Amino acid sequence: MGVRRSQKAATRQRVIEASRTLFESLGYAETTVRAIAREAGVSVGSVFTTFASKSEILSQVMVERLEELYAELDRVAPLLRGSTADRLRSIFAIHYAFETRRTRLFLAHIAAAYDWTLSPDATPFGRNEHLKQILVDCLTEGVARGDVDPNADLALIVDTLRATYAWTYRLAAREGADSAALSATMDRHIGLIAQGFMPRGGEPRA
């Protein structure tokens, strides 16, 4: 890697780290690019040669955060035991535990999905394919184990779970709910959905 390119990569990393800190402590809307540059120890100009906009910085911060989360999930997923509903509960509990470490940052990420001026380079909340795949896999295994009805519409169940997961997060915005409270609510929602996808008759096999 040339000196120029490695310098650019270093600037990029410093801007991302500075932004992650400021978005969480000050809030996304309150954080200016000038403040990010100061915190990162670079010029405003070099922030803008690396990123097109503040929303793109947020998007990149989240890409890194989510890589960490999904690395954790990929590690844990094969170890999950119990019924499909319980496995789903674990998957979402891991999400909430991870996200509530930086609640304001995550709320900014969700709000940005509706941002008026969203840059085309940004990946807003809800377009993450990785979570979708993890849930599809979990339900497909459930069909094989026999506690998910083979006739159930898995894609639809996954969409419903994702909607509930996202909107349950509003308890963090409105009531300052912590990870345990979010997971407890989600656990009950999953119970309701599971009633609908369990095979008729017969207890689910664990």
Partner 1 sequence: MKHVTGTILPAGETQVKVPTRRSLAKKQTRAKVLLAARKLFSEQGYDGATIRDIAAAAGMSTGAVFANFADKSDLFREIMLNDISNLAEIMGEAAHRARTVDEALLKIFMAGYAFYKSQLPLARAAFSISWTCDEGQILRNVGPVQALTEVISDQLTLGVERGELSRESEVKLRSQMLFDAYLSNYPQAVFGGWSLDALQARSKDQIRVILAGARRG
What does each C-alpha distance from 15 to 24, 39, 47 come to in angstroms? Answer: 14, 8, 7
Two tokens at 97?
């535990």
Rounded least distance, CB 48 to partner 1, Å: 19
Question: Which residue, 97, 92, 94, is CA-closest to 194?
Answer: 92
By the 8 A CB rule, do 142 and 82 touch?
no
Q: How far is the CB of 15 from partner 1 (least distance, A)?
A: 22
> Measured between alpha carbons, how far is 187 from 63 in angstroms, rounded to an integer?
26
Q: Count the residues of the shown chain that bind partner 1, applying the rule CB under 8 A.
A: 37
Considering only 97, 164, 178, 184, the residue that binds partner 1 (CB under 8 A) is 164
Which one, 111 or 136, has the nearer CB to partner 1?
111
- Which one, 11 or 125, has the nearer CB to partner 1? 125
State which of residues 80, 97, 136, 173 lies at the interface with partner 1 (CB under 8 A). 173
**Element (H or E) spanning 80, and its range?**
none
Q: How many distinct helices (H) and strands (E) make up the chain? A: 10, 0
**Per rule CB under 8 A, is residue 167 in the interface with partner 1?**
yes
Residue of the chain from 8, 104, 132, 145 that contacts partner 1 (CB under 8 A): 104
Angle at 49 between CA 48 and CA 55, to 5 degrees: 40
- Of 2 and 202, which has the nearer Cβ to partner 1? 202
Binding site for partner 1 (CB under 8 A): 27, 29, 104, 107, 110-117, 126, 153, 156-157, 159-160, 162-164, 166-168, 170, 173-175, 188-189, 192-197, 200
